A and B are shown apart, each in its own frame.
Chain A
Amino acid sequence: MGMSLGQLSELSEGMNLHESKRIITQANINLYAEASQDFNPIHIDEDFAKKTPLGGTIAHGMLILAYVSQMMSAAFGRSWLAGSKLNVRFKTPARPGDTITVTGRISRIERSEGQTLIHCDVLCRNQNDEAVITGETSLRVEGNENSC
């Protein structure tokens, strides 16, 4: 599967990736704990979490980051799965009930002989417009004009 954002030659700096919204639930968090084997009580034990400075359970940062990865694979297909990088900061925890909006924007395109390097800024924010994740991604795509 190739890129779904468009042909490589159609990509331009400043182009937005498809935005997505996710509602975080405790059920999602519990499923993720099982799937990832990360049972830190701050994510799954409401009684424990209430007694911490966070005041309640929070989603795993890697769960929210998975949504960023999904946005990237939706945009760039299999190219995202190998030869790509991400670098993010977890700024504010995501909590059950939060609506997380995942956005991305192509910040730079470097075309060279036989390949193209695409850089994106990524952002996840909650319903209060607080940044949950900020960061950058990059990926290498074979071809530099009309192929992808």
Chain B
Amino acid sequence: MSEEQKVEYSQLEADYEFPPSRYKLDYSSVAAYLKAVEDTSSLYQDTELVPPMAIAAYAIAALSENISLPSGTIHVSQELEFIDTVGINDTLTSYARVSRQQSRGKFHLLTIDFNVFNQRQKAVLAGKTSFILPEQTGGR
């Protein structure tokens, strides 16, 4: 998605729903994730399991494809619920909506809820991400 197509955060209001994002974690993307976080757990060696934090990371990355966050945006809190395991090559769809948009002086608090489902429409992960954003002075 180009910068022009992204939603400016200042336009977001509570209950705004982002377009659903669909993605698949294949062997190479899971291997890249495990290498990046230096996770050598036997849970993921020779199994089809995907680390739940990789799913969360992709869900949050999908959000950033839809929203233009200014530089200086800070991730302040994160809630996650790992509902079910995800296997390599599962197709995941993430639905996200703004649950809170609040101004505090020169800063804005933005909270986004997201829910991730697999190809069988079973919930696998739910989350709530909060950011503090500075006054907008241009895209990030």
- A61's contact among B35, B78, B80, by CB below 8 Å, is which? B78
Q: Is B14 in contact with chain A by the CB < 8 A criterion? A: no
Contact between chains at A86 and B35 (CB < 8 Å) = no
Q: CB-CB < 8 A to B81: which residues of A?
A: 84-85
Give the total number of A-B pairs whose CB atoms are below 8 A apart.
118
Q: CB-CB < 8 A to A89: which residues of B?
A: 76-77
Q: Is B19 in contact with chain A by the CB < 8 A criterion? A: no
Please give the number of chain A residues whose Cβ is less than 8 angstroms from any Cβ of chain B in the complex: 41
Q: CB-CB < 8 A to A86: which residues of B?
A: 78-80
Q: Is B89 in contact with chain A by the CB < 8 A criterion? A: no
Q: CB-CB < 8 A to A28: which residues of B?
A: 36, 38
Q: A131 → chain B, closest Cβ, in Å?
A: 13
The A interface is mostly helix, strand or loop, or mixed, namely helix
Give CA–CA (A62, B55) in the complex, Å.
Answer: 11
Q: B79 → chain A, closest Cβ, in Å?
A: 5
Q: CB-CB < 8 A to A63: which residues of B?
A: 36-37
Q: Is A42 in contact with chain B by the CB < 8 A criterion? A: yes
Contact between chains at A70 and B32 (CB < 8 Å) = no
Contact between chains at A74 and B41 (CB < 8 Å) = yes
- B61's contact among A37, A67, A82, by CB below 8 Å, is which? A37
Q: B66 → chain A, closest Cβ, in Å?
A: 13
Q: Is B85 in contact with chain A by the CB < 8 A criterion? A: yes
Give CA–CA (A35, B30) in the complex, Å.
Answer: 8
The B interface is mostly helix, strand or loop, or mixed, namely mixed
Q: A100 → chain B, closest Cβ, in Å?
A: 12
Decide yes or no: A69 and B29 within 8 Å by CB, A52-B72, A84-B81 being known contacts.
no
Q: CB-CB < 8 A to B56: which residues of A?
A: 62
Decide yes or no: A66 and B82 within 8 Å by CB, A81-B52, A89-B76 being known contacts.
no
Q: B73 → chain A, closest Cβ, in Å?
A: 7
Q: B50 → chain A, closest Cβ, in Å?
A: 9
Give CA–CA (A80, B44) in the complex, Å.
Answer: 13
Decide yes or no: A81 and B85 within 8 Å by CB, A53-B72, A69-B53 being known contacts.
yes
Contact between chains at B43 and A78 (CB < 8 Å) = yes
Give CA–CA (A78, B29) in the complex, Å.
Answer: 21
A71-126 interface (Cβ within 8 A of B): 73-74, 77-78, 80-90, 93
Contact between chains at A87 and B79 (CB < 8 Å) = yes
Q: CB-CB < 8 A to B43: which residues of A?
A: 1, 73, 77-78, 81
Q: A74-B41, A85-B79 are in contact. List 12 more A-B contacts (CB 8 A).
A: A28-B36, A28-B38, A34-B32, A35-B32, A37-B61, A38-B64, A62-B78, A66-B37, A67-B37, A69-B53, A87-B79, A93-B74
Which B residues have a C-beta under 8 Å from some C-beta of A? 29, 32-33, 35-39, 41-43, 49, 51-54, 56-58, 60-61, 64, 69, 71-85, 140
